[in-house]
Amino acid sequence: MDMDNQREAFDQEVAELLGEVEEAILEVENSDDPADESEAVNRLFRAMHSIKGIAGMFGFDQVTEFTHHVETALDLVRNGKAPVSKELINYVLKSHDMIISLLEDDAVAIPEEGIEIIQQLTLLTNEDAVFDDLEFGTEEKNKEDESDLNSGLVLTYRINFKPHESFFASGNSIKNIFEQLHALGDIAMHAHYDSIPPCDKLDPSVCHIYWDMVLTTKVERDEIMDVFIFAENECDLSIKLIDEVDDDIDRGENDEHNYKKLGEILVDRGALSKDELEDTLAESSKIGDILVKKNLVEPKEVEAALVEQEQVRKVRKTRHKNVASATIRVQAQKLDSLVSLVGELVTAQARLASLAIDRNDAEVSAVSETVQSLVSGLRDETMSIRMVPIGTTFTTFKRLVRDLAGDLGKEINLNMIGGDTELDKTVIERLKDPLVHIVRNSVDHGIEKGEDRIAVGKDNVGNLTLKAEHTGAFVQITVEDDGAGLNLERIREKAIERNLISPDAHLTDKETCMLVFAPGFSTAESVTDISGRGVGMDVVKQNIEALRGSISIDSEFGKGTKITLRLPLTLAIIDGLMVQVAEEFYIIPLSMVEECMDLDMAEVERIKGRNILNLRGKALPFVKLREQLDFTGSEPEIEQVVITHVNGMEVGFVVDHVIGSHQTVIKSLGPGLRQAKHISGATILGDGTVALILDVQKLVN
């Protein structure tokens, strides 16, 4: 792993832990049950402890130190020695934020704000604390700093470094390694690069260069080994100490001779066995031993330092074990290709099935069916890997709404429904910012202050609901509040003012609402820090449309506002219903289909310009796809109707034939066909032709 990968893994790990911290403390705040509360405090403590450990491993000393104090305070709380109070909760939240900024800034010292947090936490948990007890800076060092012990000792190593064929592919970076080596001291490089083949014979993924280097440094061999730690298996590496010179000591005699003699002496005295001596001499001298022998350091100091070193190594090992067993981190790219392959497999299997039928071969048909069910299972598993429940994103809003409402002096109840609705990971990432903006708007401009709400007969606590659900080939996310709603009159005025519409334009209420998405539009009286001047809404719309989704607003003045986001399941393989109209085949998402039947013309009426079918006593409006899709030519004698459930209504679609269910690999249409609003995608059929997937919702509107 090169530096970037390491740092990435660290960032991810820390982000997860910080998320746990935030969740846990919010739970502590909101829980009524003391058992739940204490469980949450424990989780909080453990997360904080883990952050301390991992920060220490990566050299973030300030974070380690800061977190140590927070951990101490939390320890007292979880042992019942200190109470949970509102101030404590607030300071823990502040600690969470401080840790983030310490990591970002990688500061040399903890800023005043941080020190204040620590002081407050200590006060809140330990009334007897005296601030002299808390010392910041050099006293509490978790990271061993051997170079301090080393001053005056200059070591020279010969390093031979020959990358294997697989070196580049392993993600290691020679450049990074050399940068680190150069930082350790003076280095004389000798590169062997005569055997680089000419360009036409070159395999560029293989490294044809190797190096001999001489490094003069003050660091121990282990530190040099660390530079190569992730590349160890990908190269031939040898690091030999060839000279050590102690600048401080008189070099009257040959040091090496002295050293050996001492060793021999120890053997003679029985303090050391011959084997031990050989071993010690064979590897580079352990600095601890040298210093003890030179009486520069007490043996127990060395021992303590060694224990610390061992500790870190153990922690590192345990950490790796824990992480390894629970989950595996996978690069998103690898998942992409896996999903792609599964998609191709589904298509190939469809082809196989179609061929089996053509050739009327029962055996092949049987195998084809087996393959189909296996592919189905594979498809489900693969899709589920990339899909992440949106609940985790929703949870981050808890903190946002809490803080925001608090700042504005409003009380808001946040409801979250459908948190287990799954979306593709990348779509969720890109949804975060737009959703934050929408939620902020609701809290800032939507929901009124407590007294205003009471004045109009509402409960003083406002309600904000985040909801997510699957509808066919889409996911629908709604943000609904019971706040002030949109003032359509004012919107109209502003729009005319800004020349977005002409004064005599006739707009429906819905169209007026949509004006809010026009660039530069805002009806906020004042520019608030919180959500700005409404410059965001048009950007939000753009972001959603970039995901090939759509956004709409529904509002009733005085009652509330509902914003609906519709996003396609981009990487979906869905169950579709294949239908035929004229020569072409189309797919209707099966999840929206209720039933299919022959169209009995006797039951058809035209009421108010709409086609209505009498379905077992119910009036069912229907749409003739032949017309909708601009087909000329005449329909067959008996047509069929597919009854679908759309937007809470039932609508029928009349087609020539219903073919049957079909595993549909959704292929994106590409930029040129973005205009095709009634088509949500395409798929490849078993015989290689393209079938279009109908956007049922759009067709209905």
Q: Which of 59, 152, 197, 377 binds other proteins (CB under 8 A)?
A: 197
Choice between 567 and 691, CB closer to other proteins:
691
> Does 692 interact with other proteins (rule: CB under 8 A)?
yes
> Which residues, including other chains, have CB under 8 Å from residue 585's CB and lie 6 or more apart?
578, 579, 659, 685, 689, 691
The rounded distance, in Å, linking the Cα atoms of 686 and 131 is 76
Q: Is the dihedral of CA 589, 592, 594, 599 positive or negative?
A: negative
Active site residue 49: yes
Choice between 207 and 291, CB closer to other proteins:
207
> Does 211 interact with other proteins (rule: CB under 8 A)?
yes
Residue in 5, 8, 49, 611 annotated catalytic: 49
The rounded distance, in Å, linking the Cα atoms of 664 and 350 is 10
Contact window for other proteins (CB under 8 A) among 201-209, 463-471, 486-494, 656-664: 201-209
Amino acid at 528: T
Q: Which of 46, 49, 143, 208 binds other proteins (CB under 8 A)?
A: 208
Amino acid at 179: E
Q: Which of residues 593-632 bind other proteins (CB under 8 A)?
A: 628-631
> Does 196 interact with other proteins (rule: CB under 8 A)?
yes
> Does 202 interact with other proteins (rule: CB under 8 A)?
yes
Nearest-approach distance from CB 676 to other proteins, in angstroms: 5
Choice between 191 and 385, CB closer to other proteins:
191
Structure tokens at 143: 């990271």
Contact between residue 627 and residue 553 where contact means Cβ atoms under 8 Å apart: no
Contact window for other proteins (CB under 8 A) among 76-84, 86-94, 196-204, 480-488: 196-204
> Does 230 interact with other proteins (rule: CB under 8 A)?
no
Structure tokens at 242: 């060839």
Site size for other proteins (CB under 8 A): 53
Nearest-approach distance from CB 334 to other proteins, in angstroms: 15
Contact window for other proteins (CB under 8 A) among 112-120, 197-205, 446-454, 524-532: 197-205
In this structure, how many other beta carbons lie within 10 angstroms of the beta carbon of residue 671?
A: 7
* Residues 379-418 as x/- pattern, contact with other proteins by CB under 8 A: ----------------------------------------
Q: How far is CA 363 from CA 355, 367, 539, 565, in A?
A: 12, 6, 57, 48
Contact window for other proteins (CB under 8 A) among 91-99, 202-210, 442-450, 636-644: 202-210
Contact window for other proteins (CB under 8 A) among 100-108, 323-331, 408-416, 686-694: 686-694
Choice between 351 and 645, CB closer to other proteins:
351
Active site residue 71: yes
Q: How far is CA 601 from CA 140, 253, 640, 656, 657, in A?
A: 87, 114, 11, 14, 15
Q: Which of 10, 168, 259, 517 binds other proteins (CB under 8 A)?
A: 168
Phi and psi (nearest 5°) for 243? -160, 135
> Does 173 interact with other proteins (rule: CB under 8 A)?
yes
Cα within 13 Å of Cα(392), Cβ side:
13
Phi and psi (nearest 5°) for 172? -75, 150
Choice between 573 and 684, CB closer to other proteins:
684
Nearest-approach distance from CB 551 to other proteins, in angstroms: 19
Q: Which of residues 550-589 bind other proteins (CB under 8 A)?
A: 584
> Does 526 interact with other proteins (rule: CB under 8 A)?
no
> Does 648 interact with other proteins (rule: CB under 8 A)?
no
Please choose, from the candidates 541, 560, 539, 559, the residue with its C-alpha nearest in 3D space to the C-alpha of residue 549: 541
Structure tokens at 113: 């704000």
Residue in 71, 234, 448, 480 annotated catalytic: 71
> Does 178 interact with other proteins (rule: CB under 8 A)?
yes
Contact window for other proteins (CB under 8 A) among 131-139, 255-263, 598-606, 662-670: 662-670
How far does CA 308 lie from the centroid of its chain? 34
> Does 205 interact with other proteins (rule: CB under 8 A)?
yes
> Does 675 interact with other proteins (rule: CB under 8 A)?
yes
- Strand pairing partners for 417? 467
Choice between 258 and 668, CB closer to other proteins:
668
Choice between 451 and 583, CB closer to other proteins:
583
> Does 236 interact with other proteins (rule: CB under 8 A)?
no
Q: Which of 3, 89, 123, 189 binds other proteins (CB under 8 A)?
A: 189
The rounded distance, in Å, linking the Cα atoms of 445 and 483 is 8
> Does 209 interact with other proteins (rule: CB under 8 A)?
yes
The rounded distance, in Å, linking the Cα atoms of 32 and 34 is 6
DSSP string, 136-205: -SSSS--S--HHHHTTTEEEEEEEEEEE-TTTGGGT--HHHHHHHHHHHEEEEEEEE-TTPPPGGG--TT
Residue 476 in 3-state DSSP?
strand
> Does 183 interact with other proteins (rule: CB under 8 A)?
no
* Residues 339-358 as x/- pattern, contact with other proteins by CB under 8 A: ----xx--x-----------
> Which residues, including other chains, have CB under 8 Å from residue 272's CB and lie 6 or more apart?
263, 266
Residue 486 in 3-state DSSP?
coil
Q: Which of 69, 669, 686, 696 binds other proteins (CB under 8 A)?
A: 669
Phi and psi (nearest 5°) for 448? -85, 170
* Residues 421-460 as x/- pattern, contact with other proteins by CB under 8 A: ----------------------------------------
The rounded distance, in Å, linking the Cα atoms of 450 and 411 is 7
Choice between 347 and 640, CB closer to other proteins:
347
Please choose, from the candidates 552, 562, 561, 541, the residue with its C-alpha nearest in 3D space to the C-alpha of residue 511: 552
Residue in 150, 172, 441, 543 annotated catalytic: 441
The rounded distance, in Å, linking the Cα atoms of 183 and 187 is 9
Residue 681 in 3-state DSSP?
strand
Active site residue 233: no
Amino acid at 346: V
The rounded distance, in Å, linking the Cα atoms of 39 and 264 is 59
Query: Which amino acids are annotated catalytic?
Result: 49, 71, 441
Footprint of other proteins on this chain (CB under 8 A)? 168, 173-175, 178-179, 182, 188-191, 193, 196-200, 202, 204-205, 207-209, 211, 213, 343-344, 347, 584, 628-631, 667-676, 678-679, 682-684, 688-692
